[in-house]
Amino acid sequence: MSNPSKAPRPEGAAPHLEVIPLGGMGEIGKNITAYRYEDEIMVVDAGLAFPESHQMGIDLIIPRIDYLQQNAGLIKGWILTHGHEDHIGGLPYILPRLPRVPVYGAGLTLGLVREKLSEFGIKDGEVDLREVDLSDKVKIGTHFQVEFFRMTHSIPDNAGYLLTTPAGVVMHTGDFKLDEEPSDGKTSDLARIEQAGKDGVTLLLSDSTNAERQGRTVSEAEVARNLETLIAGLKGRVFLTTFASNVHRVQNVINIAHRQRRRVVMEGRSMIKYAQVAQTLGYMELPEPFLASDEVGGLQDQQVLYVCTGSQGQPMSVLSRLAFGNHAKIALRRGDSVILSSNPIPGNEEAVNLVINRLYEIGVDVYYPPNYRVHASGHGSQEELATILNLARPKYFLPWHGEPRHQINHARLAQTLPRPPKRTLIARNGDVVRVSQDDFKVTGTVPAGAVYVDGLGVGDIGDDVLLDRVNMSQEGILIMTAVLHPTPHVEIVSRGFVRANRELDAQIRKVALDAIEQGLREKKRLEDVRDDMYGAVRRFVRKVTGRNPVLIPLIVD
């Protein structure tokens, strides 16, 4: 492993900037990027990711920040692009482990950050949050000047930025799509991007999420029209789920409900939290107050619309509890309609399909993509990505926010344009990307990767523990306890291995006891006797059953 230079730039050497992605490069989620110029570091975002199906028991995944901790004294400031979990969700875990520095973000972004930090008992005085407008310029340290600019996405106050350094200008789009009909009427600031391109952009980092999709991403306004047409034709109760952070979508649904003479009931902790913060800060308007679920008794079914959590099939979400009859106050019935205004995040397809199938079994009507156009991505497709590249005209290009297939397709797209970048790199988390006017290359790596959050534990679960969990789920567990006195004997307990089988249990005990007695006759150390028992039983079980349960051998002297 090589580290970025720690010494100031030698006299006469060309100034260079180091771009160090610690998360969000080669993946979708847990976004965090460090910029380093000489003895100063600026950090962008600090997100989280959600576990995949094989990561059993894990609640959240946050980025590894060893590099920032090792260079904590060099960090001069932090900027946040927007309020989605994959960009701010890691802050409560990360900020307390680093020095207090200014953290810049727009109004809604910081409102959501404050709410999140308060849940962890982190008080306002412990962090330095500074609100900016999406045209402001801020100075961070001596070497970094940041200019924010607006980009449309699925949440208000979404920002890209221009980072001016002695080594050149970096443009970072942040998450974006070029929605020409955004819900709040505030379109992306393409004029600023074009002007920056004319002035000279050394490096562009651009959102690669939809680099495989041709054309343009559907506008949020079209989704709203499709939802209204659908809801207008429904007679019973309507239950709609979407991402709680999709404030534009939720606002549109509230407006649609009002026009269709339905009262809105908010269900789900995260849905209520986002709505409260958005209302408080003026990003959400209510034609009528929300109702609680126990306040709808006097209304007819066609007068109610529930907005609830559960778009990703989460077991404890409102929609999942409704689907499986576990909700304390509400029960689905025939005549109800459920709208899934979202697509499953990769890895969540099975959970979402399970909920959909259960809804069908209950007898409710279910509407979801792609059969119904009730969702649109918040990320731009190829035409929009090409527009940014053409306007910015970067010298160098770093496709970001996507898996390798997205990054590579984005790079290929860039090469088809009239003015392709001089050079494009496909980077990974931990790469140290050196940028100067004459150079653009990976010069080393720093520690990067995933830290697992499991209950109250942060980082105490590793891949070895996850592998054990997977093995236990697939093969079961067999615990062997050898008691040596007064007479050696072996007890076994198994879970998830085989049905109760006295004959097999007796055979396993005999194999284990034979190994124990032989080891004692040979006067081996107890640790070696235990290992002999483990090996003998493993070989026997594999031969007789063809299975490999997790074996735990214990010896009581």
Q: Which two tokens stand for residue 435?
A: 């940028």
For residue 345, the 8-state DSSP code is: P
Rounded Cα distance between 504 and 243, Å, is 51
Residue 231 half-sphere exposure toward CB, CA atoms < 13 A = 34
Q: Which two tokens stand for residue 230?
A: 């659908």
- Is 375 annotated in the active site? no
DSSP track, 255-286: HHHHHTT-EEEEESHHHHHHHHHHHHTTS---
Catalytic residue among 207, 431, 454, 532: 207
Find, among 75, 80, 71, the residue nearest to 41 by Cα. Answer: 75
Cβ contacts of residue 497 below 8 Å, gap of 6+?
Answer: 475, 476, 477, 478, 547, 549
Strand order in the sheet with 423-424: 137-140, 144-150, 159-165, 168-172, 203-207, 396-400, 423-424
Catalytic residue among 16, 248, 375, 379: 379
Rounded Cα distance between 149 and 160, Å, is 5
Q: Which two tokens stand for residue 454?
A: 């499991």
How many CB atoms are closer than 10 A to CB 351? 19
For residue 434, the 8-state DSSP code is: E
Q: What distance separates the 2 farthest-apart alpha carbons in the chain? A: 88
- Rounded to the nearest 5°, which phi and psi values hold at 412? -65, -40
Rounded Cα distance between 544 and 322, Å, is 45
Find, among 129, 127, 133, the residue nearest to 146 by Cα. Answer: 133
Rounded Cα distance between 412 and 256, Å, is 41
- Is 528 annotated in the active site? no
For residue 116, the 8-state DSSP code is: H
In this structure, are residues 414 and 424 in contact, taking their beta carbons and an 8 Å threshold? yes
Q: Which two tokens stand for residue 14?
A: 């060309």
DSSP track, 15-42: P-EEEEEEESBSBSS--EEEEEETTEEE
How many CB atoms are closer than 10 A to CB 350? 10
How many CB atoms are closer than 10 A to CB 404? 14
Cβ contacts of residue 462 below 8 Å, gap of 6+?
Answer: 452
411 φ/ψ sector (left φ>0, alpha ψ -120 to 50, else beta): alpha
Rounded Cα distance between 138 and 74, Å, is 18
How many CB atoms are closer than 10 A to CB 474? 12
Q: Look-up: residue for tokens 């308060």?
A: 118
Q: List residues with catalytic annotation.
A: 207, 379
